[in-house]
Structure 1
Amino acid sequence: MSVRTIQRGGARWYVHPELDVKLPSVTSILNMIPKPFLAYWQAKMVAELAVDSLNIVAQMAARDRAGAVDYLKGAATRYTRVRARLGSDAHDLFERLLRGEHVARVHPDLEPYKAAFLEFLALFQPELVHAEDVCWSDTHGYAGSFDAIIRVRLAEDGTPDPDGEPHLLIVDWKTSKDTYPDVSLQLAAYRHADRIIKADGTELPMPELDGAAVLHVTADGWAFKPVASGKAVFAVFRTLQDVFRWDRETSKTVIGRPVATGSQTLITGTQRRAR
Structure 2
Amino acid sequence: MTKTRPPRFQRKNHGTSHSYTLDGQLVPGVTTICGVLDKPALVTWAARETAAYADDNWARLSEMRSADRIAALEKARFQTNRKATTKGSRIHAMAEQLAHGREVSVPAEIRPQVEAVARFLDQWEWETVVTESPVANSAYRYAGTADAVLHNDRFGNVLLDWKTGKGIYDEVALQLSAYKHCDLRLEEQTTIGPRGGKKTQWVEADMPQIDQCMVAHVHEESIELHPVVTDDSVFTMFLYELELLEGWVKRTSWRYRSDDSFSPTIGDPIWPETGDPE
Matches within 5 A, 1:103-252: 103=104, 105-154=105-154, 167-199=156-188, 200-251=201-252, 252=262
TM-fit CA distance, 1:94: 0.3
The amino acid across from 2:21 in the alignment is V
TM-fit CA distance, 1:51: 2.1
Match of 2:273 in 1: 264
Matches within 5 A, 1:19-98: 19-59=23-63, 61=64, 64-98=65-99
Distance 1:12 1:35, change over 3 A: farther
The amino acid across from 1:35 in the alignment is K
Aligned partners of 1:75, 1:132: CA distance in 2, in Å?
31
Aligned partners of 1:249, 1:172: CA distance in 2, in Å?
28
Aligned partners of 1:130, 1:68: CA distance in 2, in Å?
47
Aligned partners of 2:55, 2:202: CA distance in 1, in Å?
52
Asked if the contact 2:135–2:186 (Cα under 8 Å) also holds between the matched residues in 1, the reply is yes
Match of 1:158 in 2: none
The amino acid across from 2:47 in the alignment is A
The amino acid across from 1:125 in the alignment is E
The amino acid across from 1:206 in the alignment is M
Q: Which runs of 5+ in 2 are unaligned?
A: 1-5, 189-200, 253-261
Aligned partners of 1:262, 1:179: CA distance in 2, in Å?
51
Asked if the contact 2:12–2:18 (Cα under 8 Å) also holds between the matched residues in 1, the reply is no
SS of 1:196's equivalent in the other structure is strand
Asked if the contact 2:11–2:19 (Cα under 8 Å) also holds between the matched residues in 1, the reply is no
The amino acid across from 2:32 in the alignment is S
TM-fit CA distance, 1:206: 2.2
Percent identity over the alignment is 26
Match of 1:162 in 2: none
Q: Which runs of 5+ in 1 are unaligned?
A: 155-165, 266-275
Match of 1:101 in 2: 102
TM-fit CA distance, 1:262: 5.5
Asked if the contact 1:12–1:24 (Cα under 8 Å) also holds between the matched residues in 2, the reply is no
TM-score, structure 1 length as denominator?
A: 0.81
TM-fit CA distance, 1:48: 1.7
TM-fit CA distance, 1:264: 2.0
TM-fit CA distance, 1:68: 1.8
TM-score, structure 2 length as denominator?
A: 0.80
Q: Deviations over 1:136-159 (max 9, x none)?
A: 1111110000111111121xxxxx
Asked if the contact 1:12–1:25 (Cα under 8 Å) also holds between the matched residues in 2, the reply is no
Match of 1:272 in 2: none
